[in-house]
Amino acid sequence: MILKHQAGNLIPGENFSFINRILKGFGQIMLQENALTGLLFLAGIFLGSLTMGVAALLAAVSGTVTAIVLKYDRENTDKGLYGFSASLTGVALMLFFKPAPAVWLFVICGSVMAAMIQHFFIKRNMAVYTLPFVLVTWLIYLFLRYGFPGLLVPAASADPVYSHFLFPLRGFGQVIFQEKVFSGLLFFTAVFISSPLAAVYGLAGALLSGILSQYLAVEPESISRGLLSFNAVLCAILFSGNQFRNAAGALVSVLLSLIISVTMLRYNLIQLTFPFVAASVITLFIGKVYQTVRSGSNR
């Protein structure tokens, strides 16, 4: 099968390694080392916004080229580990700012920074997931918002046409800042192609987080738009597996991410994927402590 060929490469052969790296970088946004998954993610972004699609592609190329030029580990580069934070940075900047020349420059510079920060943590064997994207985007957002407020995209008026029952799919879409249901469906399908179990976990996480958020005094529109589900999607996918500890880890991380998301929304803080990062790190730490205590009690 082509999906299994050369660890998820879409196009076989060394001559196409750069394309596979770029596409795997997109796949890694939802923790999938699969070029076809990445291609579908990119298609979903373009369907949602041509500008975001171009920014995502430019950012992924910038991050990957940075890894190649600076001679980062070839295996990690092949896996797309220097493309996913970079691509998210590109899309996020086009969400918040107008596509002015200065913003395009920040897309490139931010992508390079994201790749370099990712490398810093990889070298130290620290799993921080999308934290480089979060840090770089926060920094650029604050700089442009207060230094060049004219570049900000005007706040959109509330759209009353939101089907509340489709929020889990919007949750998938919002992982890459896409509100259209079709983009979310395409993203879900892309994950399902790579890992059916991960896709089901992600959908369950989005559903659980969205339902629980209704009891936390969250605006219904935010729930319908998937803004309380997309971090849960990532948490559930990260811990997906066929053992009880996988389900337990997914549940704990989803609940933690929801608490963090609601708190950030109430204080008007830009959450991005920080709730996912924080919840995942905390859950992994709890798991390690539990294993240590359990091992000690069995002696």
Express each pLDDT in 255-266 by its tens digit: 999 999 999 999
Taking CB atoms within 8 Å and a gap of at least 24, the contacts of 95-101 are 95/52, 95/153, 95/177, 96/141, 96/144, 96/145, 96/152, 96/153, 97/144, 97/151, 97/152, 97/153, 98/151, 98/152, 98/153, 99/51, 99/55, 100/151
State whether 204 and 261 are in the same domain: yes
Range of the domain at 119: 14-151
Specify the number of domains making up the chain.
Answer: 2
3-state secondary structure of 55: helix
State whether 48 and 134 are in the same domain: yes
Q: What is the mean pLDDT of the chain?
A: 92
pLDDT of amino acid 41:
98
Q: What are the backbone angles phi and psi of residue 97, rounded to the nearest 5°?
A: -125, 155
The answer to the question of residue 9 being in a domain is: no
pLDDT of amino acid 14:
59
Residue tagged 């608490």 (tokens): 259
Which tokens in the block code for residue 146? 């207060």
pLDDT of amino acid 225:
94
State whether 77 and 203 are in the same domain: no
Query: Pick the residue with more confidence: 164 or 43?
Result: 43
pLDDT of amino acid 6:
46
The answer to the question of residue 5 being in a domain is: no
pLDDT of amino acid 7:
57
State whether 126 and 62 are in the same domain: yes
pLDDT of amino acid 163:
67
State whether 39 and 130 are in the same domain: yes
The answer to the question of residue 176 being in a domain is: no
| The pLDDT of residue 1 is above 50 | no
Collect all residues with Cβ–Cβ distance below 8 Å to 279 and sequence separation of at least 6.
231, 235, 253, 254, 256, 257, 260
Check: pTM over 0.75? Answer yes or no.
Answer: yes
Which tokens in the block code for residue 182? 């079709």
Report the C-alpha gap between 159 and 65 in whole angstroms: 39
Q: Per-residue pLDDT tens for 7-23? A: 578 666 555 699 999 99
State whether 145 and 54 are in the same domain: yes
Give the pLDDT band of residue 4 (cuts 50, 70, 90).
Answer: very low
Give the pLDDT band of residue 27 (cuts 50, 70, 90).
Answer: very high
The answer to the question of residue 173 being in a domain is: no
Q: Per-residue pLDDT tens for 241-296? A: 999 999 999 999 999 999 999 999 999 999 999 999 999 999 999 999 988 887 77
Q: What is the CATH number of the domain that holds 63?
A: 1.10.3430.10
pLDDT of amino acid 3:
32
Percent of the chain's residues with pLDDT above 70: 91
State whether 21 and 141 are in the same domain: yes
Report the C-alpha gap between 109 and 112 in whole angstroms: 5
State whether 147 and 211 are in the same domain: no
Q: Domain ends where: 120, 151, 182?
A: 151
Q: Per-residue pLDDT tens for 184-241? A: 999 999 999 999 999 999 999 999 999 999 999 899 999 999 999 999 999 999 999 9
State whether 97 and 214 are in the same domain: no
The answer to the question of residue 290 being in a domain is: yes
Report the C-alpha gap between 3 and 236 in whole angstroms: 23
Stretch 54-76: mean pLDDT: 98
State whether 145 and 18 are in the same domain: yes
Q: Domain ends where: 118, 151, 184?
A: 151
The answer to the question of residue 248 being in a domain is: yes
The answer to the question of residue 189 being in a domain is: no
The answer to the question of residue 285 being in a domain is: yes
pLDDT of amino acid 2:
30
Give the pLDDT band of residue 116 (cuts 50, 70, 90).
Answer: very high
Poorest-pLDDT segment among 8-17, 65-74, 159-168, 205-214:
8-17
State whether 206 and 264 are in the same domain: yes
State whether 71 and 144 are in the same domain: yes
